[in-house]
Amino acid sequence: MELFRPAASSMSARRVAFTRSPIRLYQCLHTSSTQKATPLPLPTVSGPPPLPPQVSASQPEDRVARKRKQAELLERGKSLRSNAAKPSSVLQKRFWKDAAVKETPDGLHIMLDTRPVRTASKQVLALPKSKRALATGIALEWDLLVSTQQALKQHYIPLTSLTSRAFDIQIADSQSNNKIRDDLLQMLMRYLSTDTLLCWAPEKNRHDPSQDTTREQNSAKTLREKQIETARPIIAFLTTHVFPGVEIVPILGEESILPTPQPEMTREIVRGWVAGLPAFELAALERAVLASKSLLVGIRLLVEWSWEYEHLRKEDAKERFGIEEAAEACSVEVRYQTSMWGEVEDTHDVEKEDLRRQLGSVILLVT
């Protein structure tokens, strides 16, 4: 815009200067093309329109009627819940009142009123008279059930299912049927190749505390050191009392992630020892290995509590290898990681208690 300076003394000159001053107009140009708006359909709702808002009841009769209607709805809901809680089938009912242990000439029977508990193969569950603790535990399991349907699930009756497994092995042995024992032996020997007790972490780990941290952190043991400290007493006991002269080597080296197989002689000796186990001990070893993921921990626990190997136990031993020792031996890495990063609620704590429950059933079966 060009400027024009008019005379200050004349008002008319100012008006003339304003009207005669040239004005340049600027227009913004856009290169993008224009787009038309896309109309969207309005949402449609089927059904009649909602009722208009009602004024709250101000009369006493209206308030009483509203309270009565609410009470009727509450009573109707209670009746529906009570009908849903009633068993609608035979499996949802409990056909016994009491569960008790009865001593018979055949052994200890677990009685549901007047009916004995049977295995999956319809055999009466008759335990030896020396296993009264196991019989009492089975009776307690059945006493805690609230329906017959729960008895069909193994996690409700772990002792009953474990004892039934032992009876199945015993019946198969009496019939010279080696299929169950051979399958068990093949499965158990696979755990020796990846035994939890022998899978030691590498010596150097980038997640370990650095060298420039405090003295307290540097003095803490590494995961491999804790695993070796836990495994050495168990390996020493097994190579001295159970498998004399047998060499048990760690699966993972200090800086290797490839497993190292056990010597062939070690595998043959362990295989022969497991193959000669009685039915109850073999079923207990299966449960211990599946729970701990360690064949050596299962053998150590079995030898400590089974009457078949009472001669191997030391009378002057200060501490016995029990549930806590077995659980800690097979969960060193889990405890190490949770001490650094914390536990996951409803995961680590549940697995911890479930592991001890399964190991406890092993001790009850062989004691």
For strands 107-112 and 115-116, give the pairing: antiparallel
Which pairing describes strands 99-104 and 115-116: parallel, antiparallel, or unpaired?
A: unpaired
CATH number, domain of 234, equals 1.10.3580.10
- Pair (157, 185) in one structural domain: no
CB 247 within 8 A of CB 266: yes
Residue 161 lies in domain: 99-172
Question: pLDDT tier at 290 (50, 70, 90 boundaries)?
Answer: very high
pLDDT digits (tens, 9 = 90+) for 6-38: 444 444 544 444 445 455 555 556 566 777 778
pLDDT value at position 298? 95
338 and 269 fall within a common domain: yes
- Region 139-167: mean pLDDT is 88
289 lies in the same domain as 355: yes
In this structure, is residue 67 part of a structural domain? no
pLDDT at 327 over 90: yes
Q: Per-residue pLDDT for 4 more than 60?
A: no
| Eight-class DSSP state of 252 | S
- 213 and 105 housed in the same domain: no
Question: Structurally, how many domains does the chain consist of?
Answer: 2
Task: Give the DSSP letter of residue 262.
Answer: P
Residue 291 forms part of a structural domain: yes
Q: Are residues 229 and 339 in the same domain?
A: yes
356 and 283 in a single domain? The answer is yes
Residue where a domain stops, chosen among 118, 137, 172:
172
Question: What pLDDT score was predicted for residue 293?
Answer: 93
Residues 132, 238 within the same domain: no
State whether 142 and 241 are in the same domain: no
User: pLDDT tens digits for 97-148?
Assistant: 889 999 999 899 999 988 999 888 788 889 999 999 999 999 999 988 888 8
Residues written for the chain? 367
Q: Are residues 299 and 272 in the same domain?
A: yes
Asked whether residue 168 falls in the same domain as residue 211, the answer is no
Percent share of the chain, pLDDT over 70? 78
Q: Are residues 136 and 210 in the same domain?
A: no
pLDDT, the chain, mean: 81
